[in-house]
Homo-oligomer: A and B are copies of this chain.
């Protein structure tokens, strides 16, 4: 076997498995590859003639047969130099990674292309996800293409257009009176009875691996030399964790030149567990009350492995920064005027970046990459209509009967 699982905390190894990403020690399992074998075929030269999707890195994705791949054209997104903004700022280079150009208009496509491919390889027929929006619509699209039944659970205040998108892709779409972790509980409770394969954050091995390709691409697109700083809007954190894993793998494969980037998490004020825990230190404490931030991908009060997010930020010499709704609004307008349509999350990255400039945390020699995760448009205020709203799995079952 080319890949297995390994615990990020105690280092224990396990055979590859579709479910159960928690180690006995409490740590999170991730996919580990036989890098010696990978390195025989994955080379800078071999990459030159490969598909221009994230599947160009097939050796570093947990699918055995390429016949199982479910692809809608994800990855290999543009990395655009933000010249109009860069010129006015005291730093060397500024890019935006345009993740909104993925299928379904968001970076979530990567995770689900991988997760649904893995699921197909293992004969899965029904998939379910809890999501603040874009993960749900990405799952819906990939499951639709693969002919699987998709069940998506979204907080009832999620962006209406994204809920409508889930329905367009044919998913059973349900709103939840609660937060993303409440939606997750419904899947947890009903999973066995309904035969759902849970593709929530860090619940299975595909999504973090798919998102990892953002890191692989960044390295390749920058000539195998990473930027000094990556600013990433953070919710569940699998993108950040995935990218960091990618850098480690590239390093061990001998493909990287120079230093690793300082990783920066941005969250919105009113739900900032990553910032709070970075400042506080000690074991990770989720937020259990008083959440007041807007319903975006960053609103994750109880990230499935907050510990791991904080560890990546620390190890990289990075930081975490909270921004206000007003700063996000201004950032969105500013990016817009430079020709970039940014989601609130992407705009938060720009707003967080400005804060770091103000604090002199950034250096004039820095080369910075911001991640724009989705289109502004997907968040146009609108009510998700004619969709059921439930609080628990039992209620969902009753409503469906």
Contacts and interface: CB of A to CB of B under 8 A. Distances in A.
Interface of A: 48-49, 52-53, 71-73, 76-80, 83-84, 98, 101-105, 140-147, 161, 164-165, 168-170, 332-333, 336-341, 375-378, 380, 382
Given A53-B78, A105-B341, A169-B341, 14 more contacts: A52-B52, A71-B80, A73-B80, A84-B145, A101-B103, A142-B339, A144-B338, A144-B339, A145-B338, A161-B377, A165-B377, A168-B332, A168-B376, A382-B382
Contacts of A101: 73, 101-103
A377 B161 CA distance: 7
A161 B83 CA distance: 27
Nearest to A52: B52
Nearest to A79: B73
Nearest to A140: B339
A77 B79 CA distance: 15
A341 B168 contact: yes
Contact of A382 (B72, B78, B380): B380
Which one of A71, A79, A338 has the greatest number of beta carbons of chain B within 10 Å?
Answer: A338
Contact of A165 (B53, B164, B341): B341
B169 A339 contact: yes
A84 B147 contact: yes
A119 B254 CA distance: 44
A98 B84 contact: no
Contacts of A71: 80
Contact of A377 (B144, B333, B378): B378
A334 to B, nearest CB: 10
12 contacts: A73-B98, A84-B144, A84-B145, A98-B103, A105-B341, A141-B339, A142-B339, A144-B337, A169-B339, A170-B337, A380-B382, A382-B382
Contacts of A332: 168
Which one of A73, A141, A170, A339 has the greatest number of beta carbons of chain B within 10 Å?
Answer: A339
A338 to B, nearest CB: 6
Contacts of A164: 377, 380
Nearest to A170: B337
Contacts of A142: 339
Contacts of A52: 52, 76
A336 B168 contact: yes
Contacts of A84: 144-145, 147
A332 B375 CA distance: 21
A385 to B, nearest CB: 12
B72 A340 contact: yes
Nearest to A144: B339
A333 B84 CA distance: 40
